[in-house]
Amino acid sequence: MKIDKNKIKTLNSKTLPGHRESFEYLSGKLSKQGFDPKQIIQKIQDFQIAIPSWALGTGGTRFGRFPGGGEPRTLEEKIDDVGLLHALNAGSGAISLHIPWDIPSDIEAIKAHAAAHNLLFDAVNSNTFQDQPDQEHSYKFGSLCHTDPKVRQQAVDHNLEVVHYGEKLGSKALTVWLADGSSFPGQMNFRKALQRTLDSLKEIYQGMPSDWKMFVEYKPYEPNFYHTVIQDWGTSHLLASQLGDRAFTLVDLGHHLPNTNIEQIVGTLMMQGKLGGFHFNDSKFGDDDLTAGAMKPYQLFLIFNELVEGMEDKNSVNPPPAWMIDASHNLKDPLEDLLQSVEAIQLAYAQALTVDRVALENAREQNDAVLAQEILQNAFRTDLRPLIAEARLQAGAALEPVAVYRDLTVRNELVKERGAKSLATGL
């Protein structure tokens, strides 16, 4: 299914007068504060957030899965779904593939299919956390860290195979997330496991094309519950530093213990030029994979405040990070969930762009905690939604993506096309 742009235009016309009014008011207000709304709109339009192929089906928990129907059955249909999102919000211009779930059978046809939706291929992801039916060795006790060199070699080869597919599609980065670790004290030698992981990653790194980046994703627990080999940003940074200039840390918002100061991690990594990628989601307790901004929008804003500070710093040594959503819960229609996530991310970004950085820095130098808070919260509490809507409108997308999605009964159409029981691969 493809959305007809004229239909979006017609539906936009219903809410256009109200939008014009609130956008003009907001524009005037921002201009008076010294910001250029046009420039902010351009930045929002340039900020494209990749959609992971595995978030297009209803996510499950270990207790069950309740698919809502019309899920994409093939890689082509996954691309179609991201195309739908991009048509509605003009902010989801890339798809991130997970191999072996998304092995393209006809590379040229898949490339053409993505191009027809104006989509690029973002980082490719390897999977050594599950055993595949035709696989010789099991990852039950780890992959890149495994005690058996044959298992490690199989995992290295798999990562290189993922790079090979990504190269053909035009991706430029490999994301490595490992489930490796142990669930019982004494089960694994920490030092040996980390050393083996580093050695295996070196092999993969050396096998990547010279213009590729490697993103090393950390996670403190799950599926292992005593220790994970790459448990935190420090361990990921250590590995990335030893691997080389094209290896970076990837921050997934759900991969922190409660109350971790994630914005500080962002600041530290950017100072070192080692923040490579970002996985957005939200959580209350663990890796809950909830819609970005659903639970802690202020934290998301504070994270963006650091990101923007790093990105706008002319002396920054950090290359532009890769942005992706990594969320899929089991209650919402996944496409509606993703539309909400993209909007929340864009909003936090826009809020961070409207922080008076000079005033904030002065307040910090004067140790004026009260003024610093005023400045940050002034930006956070200004309703910038009309600005995001205007960015979409100018790009030919929907003023209100979720409402338009519902008005066009997209899910019903997908169910008609693909059936009520179609199932997407993913977690």
**Contact residues for ligand PSV, defined by CB under 6 A:** 54, 125, 177, 217, 219, 252, 279, 287, 326, 427
- Minimum distance, C-beta of residue 252 to Mn ion, in the bound complex (Å): 4
Distance of CA 56 to the CA centre of its chain: 13
The contact set with Mn ion (CB under 5 A) reads 252, 279, 326
Q: How many residues are present in the chain?
A: 427
Q: Which does 165 bind (CB under 5 to 8 A by kind): Mn ion, ligand PSV, none?
A: none
According to DSSP, the β-strands at 227-228 and 181-182 are antiparallel
Shortest Cβ distance from residue 395 to ligand PSV (Å)? Answer: 28
Q: Long-range contacts made by residues 39-46, C-beta under 8 angstroms, separation at least 24?
A: 40/350, 40/353, 40/354, 40/387, 41/387, 41/390, 41/391, 41/394, 43/349, 43/353, 44/91, 44/346, 44/349, 44/350, 44/387, 44/388, 44/391, 45/90, 45/91, 45/391, 45/394, 45/395
Residues near 213 by beta carbon (within 8 Å), at least 6 away in sequence: 123, 172, 173, 174, 246, 247, 248, 276
Q: Which does 231 bind (CB under 5 to 8 A by kind): Mn ion, ligand PSV, none?
A: none
Which helix (H) or strand (E) is 173 found in, with range? strand 173-177
Beta carbon nearer to ligand PSV, 279 or 329: 279
Query: Which residue, 54 or 121, is less far from ligand PSV as judged by CB?
Result: 54
Task: CB nearer to ligand PSV: give 19 or 172.
Answer: 172
Please say which residue, 123 or 311, places its beta carbon nearer to Mn ion. 123
Residue 263's binding partner out of Mn ion, ligand PSV, none, with CB under 5 to 8 Å set by partner kind: none
Give percent helix, percent strand, percent coil of the chain, each to the nearest 5. Answer: 50, 10, 40
Spell out the residues 6+ positions from residue 353 whose beta carbon is closer than 8 angstroms to its own.
Answer: 35, 40, 43, 308
Chosen from ligand PSV, Mn ion, none, partner binding at 280 (C-beta under 5 to 8 Å by type): none
Alpha carbon distance 201, 203 (integer Å): 5
Which CB, 295 or 372, lies closer to ligand PSV?
Answer: 295
State in angstroms the smallest separation of the CB of 178 from ligand PSV. Answer: 9
Distances, alpha carbon 145 to alpha carbons 35, 186, 228, 354, in Å: 50, 15, 10, 45
Of 120 and 427, nearer to ligand PSV (C-beta) is: 427
Helix H or strand E segment including 350: helix 334-353
> Least Å distance between CB 341 and Mn ion?
13
Distance in Å, CB of 38 to Mn ion, minimum? 34
340 close to 281: Cβ distance less than 8 angstroms? no
333 binds, among ligand PSV, Mn ion, none (CB under 5 to 8 A by kind): none
The option from Mn ion, ligand PSV, none interacting with 287 (CB < 5 to 8 A, set by class) reads ligand PSV
SS3 120: strand
Nearer to Mn ion, 98 or 392 (CB): 98
Which of Mn ion, ligand PSV, none sits in contact with 427, Cβ below 5 to 8 A by type?
A: ligand PSV
Nearer to ligand PSV, 45 or 125 (CB): 125
Q: Are 113 and 66 a contacting pair, CB within 8 Å?
A: no
Q: How far is the CB of 159 from ligand PSV (least distance, A)?
A: 12
- Taking the complex as a whole, how short is the minimal distance between the CB of residue 100 and ligand PSV, in angstroms? 12
The distance of closest approach from Cβ of residue 250 to ligand PSV in the complex, given in angstroms and rounded to an integer, is 8
**Three-state DSSP class for 331?**
coil
In the complex, minimum distance from the CB of residue 252 to ligand PSV, in angstroms, rounded to a whole number: 5
Cβ proximity to ligand PSV, 332 vs 392, nearer residue: 332
Tell me the residue number closest to ligand PSV, measured at CB. Answer: 177
Q: Which does 125 bind (CB under 5 to 8 A by kind): Mn ion, ligand PSV, none?
A: ligand PSV
| Distance between CA atoms of residues 116 and 128, nearest Å | 32
